[in-house]
């Protein structure tokens, strides 16, 4: 392959990931609209349904979101009555995020979302699982290398 061919849009991993992410988000949108959530709010709720009462910092790390993105998102979830943010009694510098009863109840509405996405992918379960694992590995590798570069 010539070097100039490497700049073709369809050869870019970043573009493939971007386009796929947009299409996947479109599949989720009608379901999330019914729940009153954006996609980023949905993944935040997923993380909290998995582990509740966590520090904001831990939640941000889990979601790969910086505080400038996470703080307004948490404010909106709190205004919607889905979460509560409270200072940690053991460490006043830390803010804990906890689901409300309404936030816990919303989980029931989300139970069919993974199946809906699966049905629309056209992939076999094994293919989808392999793709998920590959993307997780890629994300962790890039994140780790970027952190190393930041440290020096």
Read off the pLDDT of residues 21-52 as tens digits, 9 standing for 90 and up. 999 999 999 999 999 999 999 999 999 999 99
- Quick one: average pLDDT of 107-123? 92
pLDDT of 1 strictly over 90: no
| Angle, in degrees to the nearest 10, between helices 39-50 and 67-79 | 80
- Rounded to whole angstroms, the Cα distance separating 87 from 144 reads 29
pLDDT of 136 strictly over 90: yes
Q: Does the predicted TM-score (pTM) go above 0.85?
A: yes
- Rounded to whole angstroms, the Cα distance separating 88 from 25 reads 34
């Amino acid at each position: 392959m010539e070097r100039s061919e490497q700049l073709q849009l369809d050869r870019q991993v970043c573009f493939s990931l971007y386009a796929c992410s947009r299409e996947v988000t479109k599949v989720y949108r009608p379901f999330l609209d019914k729940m009153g959530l954006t996609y980023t709010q949905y993944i935040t709720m997923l993380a909290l349904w998995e582990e509740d009462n966590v520090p904001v910092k831990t939640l941000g790390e889990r979601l790969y979101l910086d505080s400038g993105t996470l703080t307004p998102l948490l404010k909106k979830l709190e205004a919607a009555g889905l979460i509560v943010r409270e200072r940690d009694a053991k460490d006043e510098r830390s803010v804990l995020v906890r689901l409300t009863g309404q936030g816990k109840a919303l989980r029931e509405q989300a139970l069919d979302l993974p199946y809906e996405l699966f049905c629309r992918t056209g992939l076999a379960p094994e293919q989808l699982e392999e793709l998920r694992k590959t993307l997780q590995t890629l994300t962790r590798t890039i994140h780790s290398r970027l952190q190393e570069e930041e440290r020096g």
